[in-house]
Each structure stands twice: as C-alpha cells, then as structure tokens.
Copies of this chain bind each other. A is one copy, B any other.
C-alpha cells in the first residue's frame, strides 16, 4: 500500500515550483522535495529551493547531482548565449505589460533536452522507494508553450509509462499520479495563488543569467524568465519582493 499522504515534489526554486510546494502543503501532504544540480549556470536557484523546502516543512530535501553539460544542447547547460531582448524592447515590455510573447511560442534555446523526463524519472524512483503515489511538477503550458515536456499529453504519457515501469505499480501496491496543478494557470494567477498560500517570493529565483556585483547576485531582468516574472507580477497587482532589493 502506498503511504497515502506522501508526495514527491520537484523543486527548482522558481516561482512555479515554490507555488507547487505550497499547493501540496495545503493538501496536507507529507512533502519530499527533489532538486537537481545538473550543471545549470545558476546555482542560486538551489539555495532558494532549500529555503522553500524548509519554509513548507518538507520531510526531506534531496538534491541529486549529475552533469547535463556532458550532453549539452541547451543554453542553460552548454556555453551558448542566453537570449535576451534588447534593453529597448525590455523597457517597452515591462513598462506596458504587453502581450508580446511571440519569442517564446517556438521552442527556445533554453530548452534542455529531455530535462523533465530525466527529472520525473528520478522522482519516480524516489517515490517508489518512499511509497509515495503522487509526484508534483510545476509544469505550465501557458507561459511555456514552447517546451514539449510541459504539455499535458507528455505528462499523461509519462504517467502511463511510470505505471508500467516500477515494481510497486506492477505489483499493484501503488498507482502513480503525476500532478501538475499549475498546468493551465497564467503566471499572474500562479503568483496570486502562491501569495494566498504564504509563498514568500523573495525566496524564489527565476533569472537564467544572474549578474554578480560584489558578493551579491542580481537577476538580469532581460532574459525570458525575468521577463515572464516581471509580467506576472505586473498583472497580479503584487510587488515582486526581489525588485525591492535592486
């Protein structure tokens, strides 16, 4: 039998995964947070993941290390330049909160080959060991429509595969469910939901290309992820606590 209140939650340290942890916590689930140090450029997100896990009383926070740089194929793990809007565009963008997201409708260079497949595979392994039947992922199709592994059809296919893959599911003791509670929410709705549930977004990190000044690190405000964050906060009517420190 599964330990019915246990859930593995993928936690990157960004807005979406922090909100996902809060949603699992709000369902009184026993949270086992799972992060990855996979050669991404911005380790600060792992620190944020630790803060969020602690804040929501995760039973464990496991960080698995491997190096996707060996595989390459992405601006986030290879030495490719993270794409940015020009300062001019960015100013117009954040000033007007316009809907020009055309540059994230196709699959961006920040796509990491099979990343969510790899992350969910480790989550599945841990869930089986923990006898946890639920695996939460902050996947979202509204703002990340270009990422194939954020789509419901992918998540459904993964769930189907997962239930054929494991001893626990084949023997019938656990049926794994992949939960993606943010899948169709806008960034603005995600932020509002998280704020309601007590997420402190000053403990989250979004920027793909952090800038160092002295021994402090600041978001670039120009990459796709900073742009989405700014737009989300703008539309939510809430203030991004990170912006107060800039």
Grouping DSSP codes into helix (H, G, I), strand (E, B) and loop, the A interface class, with mixed when no group exceeds half, is: helix
A71–B122 touching, CB < 8 Å: yes
Tallying the copies of this chain within the complex gives 2
C-beta contact mask, A107-134 vs B, less than 8 Å → 1, else 0? 1000111111110011011101100000
Say how far A26's CB is from chain B's closest CB, in angstroms: 26
User: What are 27 sample pairs from A and B whose C-beta atoms fall under 8 A apart?
Assistant: A62-B70, A62-B71, A64-B66, A64-B67, A64-B71, A65-B66, A65-B67, A68-B125, A113-B124, A113-B129, A113-B167, A114-B128, A114-B162, A114-B165, A114-B166, A117-B124, A117-B162, A118-B122, A118-B125, A148-B165, A149-B166, A154-B165, A157-B157, A157-B160, A157-B161, A157-B165, A158-B165
Q: Name A's B-contacting residues (CB within 8 A).
A: 62, 64-68, 70-73, 107, 111-118, 121-122, 124-126, 128-129, 148-149, 151, 153-154, 157-158, 160-162, 164-167, 169-171
